[in-house]
Amino acid sequence: MKIWDKMTMNFTFIAIASLWIKTYIVYKYNFDIKIENSTEEFILFINPLSFLMIVIGAGILLTEKPQKIYVITATFIISFILFANAVYYREFSDFITIPLLMQFSNLGDLQSSVGELVNFRDFFYFSDVLLLILLAVKHPRFLTSVKLKRTSAAVFYFSAGALVFFNLGLSETQRPELLTRTFDREILVKNIGTYHFHVYDAYLQTKANAQRALADGNQLTEIENYTRAHYKAPNEQLFGTAKGKNIIVISMESTQNFVIGETVNGQEITPFLNEFIKESYYFDEFYHQTGQGKTSDSEFLLDNSLYPLGRGAVFFTHSGNKYMSLAAKLKENFYYTANLHANNKSFWNRDVVYKNFGYDRFYSMTDYEITDENSVGWGMKDAEFFKQSIDHLKEMPKPFYAKLITLTNHFPFHLNEEDKLIDEYNSLSGTLNRYFPTVRYTDEALRLFVDHLKKEGLYEDSIIIIYGDHYGISENHNRSMAQFLGREITPFESVQLQRVPLIVHIPGHEGQAISAVTGQIDLRPTVLNLAGIDSKSDIQFGTDIFSAEQDQFVVLRDGSFISKEYVYTKGTCYEKKTGEETSGANCEHYYDQAKQELYYSDRVIYGDLLRFYGNQ
């Protein structure tokens, strides 16, 4: 082999080696990937290599200038993918998927959040790109190259292919049925790597697009039989309690249950909610079940009692599907239905989805007087939003179903000094420190809203449901959360932190705390039963939270689940009362049910199966 052939390989291999090592460093220091043994550590180390050999290695087939341009360009693109995943992971402890990229239109509203997540240390992600450019510019003679011989190139690519199968085979020994566990992206990235995960994600997207074309009504029959078999009879005393009354549902942005009844620096975080709970039904084991769609997923759960998708947001990927929405069901029973959210109507594709769900009206930012003075962070302050929403509620035909979505308690949790009713917390996490004042602000805004409802004569004739939409503090802040809670944040504790408040206020009813395992998927049948509307024949995976037959079983979108006795997450079964690990056999039955429900729900969405409802 000529000396220049060796130089050719050196340049390409420098790019492969530098990107390989950089990816492994990011795995270890930017992603919280749990490693259980030396084999998993070895898999994590080698999994980027085969992809880099295949993609970056294509440079060995080129000569001179085209080779340099290709290798540098490919390295930059792959580095940017790694960087984007790292930035996203900092807040959401998750990895980017293709459906998530379909939400690109949201980025215009994400400036404050992205600015908070990016820092000067991110220069590291592109350091090898600059090194390659420096070598190409400063040492052109050293890097002058010719195309690698065909035989040598074939051996190189055969080695890359063999490494792919070796990696996958070794991973299967650690995690059988690896590629069927698509609800757990961390497991996939740990075993096949970030880059191969994106390739696999592209395959899943193609497969998902084909499912609708191949679907037929027979697939719905099996799912319909399952949901009807799991139907639970409503509470006879509460069925129809809300009939003829207004139903006001308030979605509290990023509000987790750990703030309820707690103090920071000796000050109550939620003084209003603490009092409101005393005259309401309060569920302290109510879990959010959202995925990458966050708030939009919580809305999807509320309206349809279907699970959100494991990849992307249903509001974007399947907004045109046929659904059996809560809004449409209430509308059939003479309710006026409306959404109120002082944000851009196209954010999360709401203008399209709400229309498809059958809502009569969407009050978006154009229906509010928004100024710099009454706005902060993501938009209109909650207190002003509620104040102006009262006028909209007053003009609605009665009875109405109105869903209001708050905004102020949104990452990165910025608040004007004059609106801070309590001091920030003192920890290493600025995010957690700022979180408490914004929660306190929303709590005060809710107090003012309820006062306005009373003054306008709406309070006594309305059922008020308040719930948290999703977590506000991600696992990346576990160290500071442990400081606040006074205990280590184990995987078991992380699941417990997915609890969000659920408060159901029914005029004339005494307050009652209910410790039953429930989730957002249970809201639709609960609301319908309160309104006196039978939903037994509907395809829904939730059950009435007031039902005496409630099975107390909640499945999270990542495949974790909670029952009355056990918690399962990240491959481990825990005793719910103690948080101690227990035999996996105790969770086996629940695991099968959780997997089946996620599978059935996904089939409904991907196949748009509800279009066949009533036609089987």
Domain of 427, CATH number, reads 3.40.720.10
Residue type, 401: Y
Look at residue 616 and tell me if it is in a domain: no
Look at residue 497 and tell me if it is in a domain: yes
Q: What is the DSSP letter of 14?
A: H
Q: Quick one: 548 exposed, middle or buried, by C-beta within 10 A (0-12, 13-18, 19+)? A: exposed
When pLDDT is averaged across residues 607-615 and rounded to a whole number, the result is: 88
Tens of pLDDT, residue by residue over 560-585, are: 999 999 999 999 999 999 999 999 99
Look at residue 593 and tell me if it is in a domain: yes
Q: Are residues 186 and 275 in the same domain?
A: no
pLDDT at 342: 94
Q: Are residues 321 and 197 in the same domain?
A: no
Q: Are residues 153 and 251 in the same domain?
A: no
Q: Quick one: 343 exposed, middle or buried, by C-beta within 10 A (0-12, 13-18, 19+)? A: buried
**Which of these three, 184, 210, 236, is where a domain ends?**
210
Q: Are residues 139 and 239 in the same domain?
A: no
Q: Are residues 236 and 187 in the same domain?
A: no
Of 42, 36, 71, 77, the C-alpha closest to 198 is 77
What are the DSSP calls for 35-82, one per residue? Answer: --SHHHHHHHHHTTHHHHHHHGGGGGGS-HHHHHHHHHHHHHHHHHHH
Catalogue the active-site residues.
295
Q: Are residues 200 and 258 in the same domain?
A: no
**Which of these three, 162, 189, 210, is where a domain ends?**
210
Look at residue 228 and tell me if it is in a domain: yes
Q: Are residues 493 and 603 in the same domain?
A: yes
CA 363 vs CA 91, 380, 385: distances in Å: 29, 13, 11
Cα–Cα dist 602/324, whole Å: 15
Tens of pLDDT, residue by residue over 493-511, are: 999 999 999 999 999 999 9
Domain total in the chain: 2
Look at residue 485 and tell me if it is in a domain: yes
Q: Is 363 helix (H, G, I), strand (E, B) or coil?
A: strand
Cα–Cα dist 52/54, whole Å: 5
Tens of pLDDT, residue by residue over 385-417, are: 999 999 999 999 999 999 999 999 998 899 999
Of 284, 264, 260, 285, the C-alpha closest to 274 is 260
Phi-psi map region of 32: left, alpha, beta (phi>0 left; psi -120 to 50 alpha): beta
Of 46-55, 105-114, 304-313, least confident by mean pLDDT is 105-114
* Confidence band of 186 (pLDDT split at 50, 70, 90): confident
- Its domain, for residue 556, covers 218-611
Q: At what angle do helices 382-395 and 430-455 cross, to 10 degrees?
A: 30
Q: Are residues 430 and 348 in the same domain?
A: yes
Q: Are residues 187 and 309 in the same domain?
A: no
CA 400, 405, 410: angle at the middle one, nearest 5? 170
When pLDDT is averaged across residues 29-42 and rounded to a whole number, the result is: 87
* Confidence band of 348 (pLDDT split at 50, 70, 90): confident
Look at residue 341 and tell me if it is in a domain: yes
pLDDT at 581: 96
Q: Are residues 445 and 364 in the same domain?
A: yes
Phi-psi map region of 312: left, alpha, beta (phi>0 left; psi -120 to 50 alpha): left
Cα–Cα dist 548/559, whole Å: 26
Q: Are residues 199 and 233 in the same domain?
A: no
Bridge partner list, 337: 401
Look at residue 77 and tell me if it is in a domain: yes
Residue at token pair 């039953």: 516
**Which of these three, 163, 187, 210, is where a domain ends?**
210
When pLDDT is averaged across residues 313-321 and rounded to a whole number, the result is: 89
Tens of pLDDT, residue by residue over 470-498, are: 999 999 899 999 999 999 999 999 999 99
Q: Quick one: 575 exposed, middle or buried, by C-beta within 10 A (0-12, 13-18, 19+)? A: middle
Phi-psi map region of 436: left, alpha, beta (phi>0 left; psi -120 to 50 alpha): alpha
Q: Is 476 helix (H, G, I), strand (E, B) or coil?
A: helix
Q: Are residues 439 and 561 in the same domain?
A: yes
* HSE-up of residue 101 (Cα within 13 Å, Cβ side): 11
First to last CA, the chain: 69
